Structure 1
Amino acid sequence: MSVADFMTTDLVTIRPETRINDAVDLMKKHDIHRLPVVDNGKLVGLVTEGIIQRALPSEATSLSVYEVNYLLNKTTVDEIMEKDVRTIKSSSVLEEAIYQMRKNNIGVLPVVDDGHLTGIITNNDIFDAFLNVAAYGNGGTSVTVHVPAQEIGFLAKVSEALASHKYNILSLFVVKQGDAKAIELHVDSEDETGVKNALKQAGLEE
């Protein structure tokens, strides 16, 4: 899976000279939480709800509501935006996007190809990708099979056990559990008992 498979390409962007109030209005209108800042097709910054919140005067300020609104109307996003923006290529594997988000404690990565902004991928896109790969919501049965250490051809054994009973695998994950491994399966049948019996008859341990 690549970033291109799950990134958002229908982008709402702003220019550096956009006023903060206008940026806030755009976020509300499109129900989004961040805006890439683009100048001549190039990504030059990123504005998020958190950045705007930190730019607002604190509750302890002596400014009136009128003065705050005046300030936000005069301030442009290039004065508060994050300029050192981490990006990723659309051809990158999804795991790289997850790694970068976790490593840098961020929830969004603008997608930049050949110097131009082509998309954006967020933690919500990552969640959607996981649900898609896991075939969640497609019905069926989820089961876990424990993997014996160093057994060659174990996946083929699991597949054959299910196929012999006319069950198809919708998704499959190999999960580490300490020093051991387990296979998380999603099978295209609501007959949970039948699926488990098929595995048990093949000598596969749940």
Structure 2
Amino acid sequence: MDIADIVIREYVEVDAGKRLGKVRAIFERENPKGIVVTEDGEYAGVIGERQLVQSHIEDNTKASALMKSAPRIDRYEDIREVARVLVEGGVKIAPVYEGEKLYGVITEDAILDAVIENLDALTVEQIYTEDIVTIDDDDRVGRAINRLREHGISRLPVVDDGNLVGVVTTHDIVDFVVRDQDRQGKRDRAGDIDRMLDLPVYDLMSSPVVTATPGETVQTAVERMLAENIAGLIVTPEDDDSEILGVVTKTDVLRALTFTEEEQMDVQITNIGLLDTITREEITNAITEVADKYSRMQVHHAHVRFHEHKEKLRGTPLIQAQIRLRTSHGQLAGSGEGYGAEHAFHVALDKLERNVLELKGVNADEKYQGQLLRKLGEL
């Protein structure tokens, strides 16, 4: 299936130098699904619908400050490949071209709408993310913001004594700032920010939480996300909605669309633009080498996610790498940080292998026994 018939023609095209105040005015007047940013007449990036509406960047700021890079997509591209492009680019919208002509935009929601009837073949248990980051309800908003940035995520389940009581997202925080300043008018901006950072998370969190259970179909979960206009659900047991098992997001669903049944392991990379001295092929080979060391463990899918921190060393950014495997023995993960994507990836890969070593029921192939025994001795 290609995307020819689901491309959205309603989009706004603006110059990178246009002020966001004017962009917002155009957006509110024309109500498009996305904005394409050009520079000197050439495509430069995109601004998503929610990204523009909920951003609190000053109106006199140039549009280029809010745009994200997204690759050009052909109108007749296969929908699975488009899903891969959006996930790997870390974007929810991309420009669609017919030849050299900008034809429209494709969005995450448009893809999900198109395939939703086929998602009853998957369950939430098959695609949700188990490794999650939480925050206590009495923690301060400043700490929530730091966790969201540190882990490169957009939502945090909120807990009270370990029980799920709410969820706070980047959009909740931006919404609060916008509402508060609209209500109070112009005041001391630094004082407003300090006051907000010191608020407890329970003042901003959404509750009750919209959830999913592992046994539900992905179709049901996506229908709920679209109906509630949210990007993710907290996964809880069917008989206990206070226990957190994980999170399932629209991005997880797009990622599942790219799963293959080929013999070669499917590896997906998010924020692939951060790769510096390492290639996709080298990443795939390294993960395959680790997976091949263990008998009775089949790797169905591998996801590698890179996140850039502001810190740099001699111009090289500090990168966080996360590797997640979906295997016949469940999910396995490893994460690490380093200066540059290659360093970060190998730190995460080493952590992943150590986690595999601790997994019961998975044995190393004989030719790797000596190497692994030495690794175990280092633990």
Q: TM-score range by the shorter chain?
A: 0.5 to 0.7
Instruction: Identify the residue that residue 126 of structure 1 maps to in structure 2.
Output: 253
Which 4+ residue blocks in structure 1 deviate beyond 6 angstroms? none
Q: Alpha carbon RMSD of aligned pairs, Å?
A: 2.3
2:181 matched to 1:58?
yes
Q: Matches of 1:134 and 1:24 in 2, distance apart?
A: 39
How much has 1:101 moved relative to structure 2? 1.2
Letter paired with 1:18: D
SS in 2 for 1:50: helix
3-state SS of 2:196 partner: helix
Partner of 1:31: 152
Correspondence 1:8-23 to 2 at 5 A: 8-23=129-144
- Give the distance between the partners of 2:126 and 2:185, measured in 1 at CA: 46
Say which SS state the counterpart of residue 126 (structure 2) adopts. Answer: helix
Name the structure 2 match of 1:86.
210
**What is the deviation of 1:133?**
5.5
Distance 2:170 2:251 in 1: 16
- Residues 1:62 and 1:10: Cα distance change in structure 2 (over 3 Å): same
Query: 2:194 aligns to what SS in structure 1?
Result: helix
- Which residue is 1:103 aligned to? 227
| 1:62 to 1:130, Cα distance in 2 relative to 1, 3 A | same
Q: How does 1:52-201 map to 2 (within 5 A)?
A: 52-56=173-177, 57-58=180-181, 61-113=185-237, 114-115=240-241, 116-132=243-259
| Partner SS state of residue 132, structure 2 | coil
Match of 1:106, SS state, is coil
Deviation of 1:134 after TM superposition, in Å, equals 8.4
- Find the aligned partners of 1:110 and 1:138 in 2 and give their Cα distance: 28
1:126 to partner: Cα distance: 0.7
2:288 matched residue in structure 1: none
After TM superposition, the score normalised by the length of structure 2 is 0.34
- One-letter amino acid of the structure 2 residue matched with residue 63 of structure 1: R
SS at match of 1:132: coil
d(CA) in 1 for partners of 2:246 and 2:174?
25
Find the partner of 1:48 among 169, 181, 199: 169
What CA distance in whole angstroms lies between the structure 2 residues aligned with 1:85 and 1:69? Answer: 27
Identity percentage over the alignment? Answer: 28
Residue 98 of structure 1, CA deviation? 1.2
Shift of the 105–66 alpha-carbon distance from structure 1 to 2, 3 Å rule, reads closer
Distance in 2 between the 1:133 and 1:88 partners?
25
Distance, in Å, in 2 between the alignment partners of 1:38 and 1:32 is 17
The TM-score with structure 1 as length reference comes to 0.61
- Spell out, residue by residue over 1:161-203, the C-alpha distance to the aligned partner (whole angstroms, 9 max, x if none): xxxxxxxxxxxxxxxxxxxxxxxxxxxxxxxxxxxxxxxxxxx
Q: Which runs of 5+ in 1 are unaligned?
A: 140-206
Give the total of aligned pairs: 138
Helix, strand or coil at the partner of 2:165: strand
Alignment partner, residue 152 of structure 1? none
Q: Residue type of the partner of 2:181?
A: S
Per chain length, whose mean CA-contact separation is higher, i.e. which structure has more relative contact order (CA < 8 Å, sep 6+)?
1
CA distance in 2, matches of 1:74, 1:17: 10
Higher alpha-carbon Rg: 1
3-state SS in 2 of match to 1:66? helix
Return the alpha-carbon distance in structure 1 between the equivalents of residues 135 and 203 of structure 2.
13
2-structure distance, mates of 1:103, 1:133: 29
Question: What's the offset of the Cα at 1:18?
Answer: 1.2
Q: Deviations over 1:78-124 (max 9, x none)?
A: 01110122101011111111111122222110001123110000110
SS of residue matched to 1:101: helix
